[in-house]
């Protein structure tokens, strides 16, 4: 019997973004860093220590795996089926949080002029 994805929740922001970066296929660590930084418009920048600590934890949990492929000393990682199920469960959890906030009248404030989000 497969583990219940809900038992892995909530994910940290770093874990969520790493899993999300691997949805398109294998990536090496630096590729994950670049994907996260680009997708968040620089709002989230993963340092190598943070990245590899999170990767080790996600691998231990059985959410991602080292592919065994290396080039130029870069190790590649892939999302496992359990990791995809956990990512989907976390996405549902976050969507529910946003729906509850909206129901209470909470909306994002406009980004200040000159911010990275504008």
Tens of pLDDT, residues 56-114: 999 999 999 999 887 888 999 999 999 999 999 999 999 999 999 999 999 988 877 76
- Asked if residue 54 belongs to a domain, the reply is yes
Range of the domain at 21: 6-100
**Calpha distance 116→38 (Å, rounded):** 11
CATH number at residue 34: 1.10.10.10
- Asked if residue 12 belongs to a domain, the reply is yes
Q: pTM score, two decimals?
A: 0.90
- Asked if residue 30 belongs to a domain, the reply is yes
Q: How many domains does the chain fold into?
A: 1
Angle between helices 13-21 and 48-60 (to 10 degrees): 80
CB contact at 8 A, 75 and 64: no
- Asked if residue 110 belongs to a domain, the reply is no
- Asked if residue 106 belongs to a domain, the reply is no
* 112 token code pair: 């200040």
């Amino acid at each position: 019997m497969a583990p219940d994805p809900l038992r892995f929740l909530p994910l940290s922001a770093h874990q969520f973004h790493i899993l999300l970066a691997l949805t398109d296929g294998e990536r090496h660590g630096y590729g994950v860093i670049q994907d996260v930084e680009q997708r968040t418009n620089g709002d989230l920048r993963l340092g190598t220590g943070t990245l590899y600590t999170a990767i080790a934890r996600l691998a231990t949990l059985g959410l991602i795996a080292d592919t065994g492929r290396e080039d130029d000393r870069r190790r590649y990682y892939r999302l496992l089926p359990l990791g995809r199920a956990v990512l989907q469960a976390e996405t549902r959890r976050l969507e529910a949080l946003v729906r509850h906030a909206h129901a209470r009248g909470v909306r994002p404030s406009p980004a200040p002029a000159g911010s990275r989000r504008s």
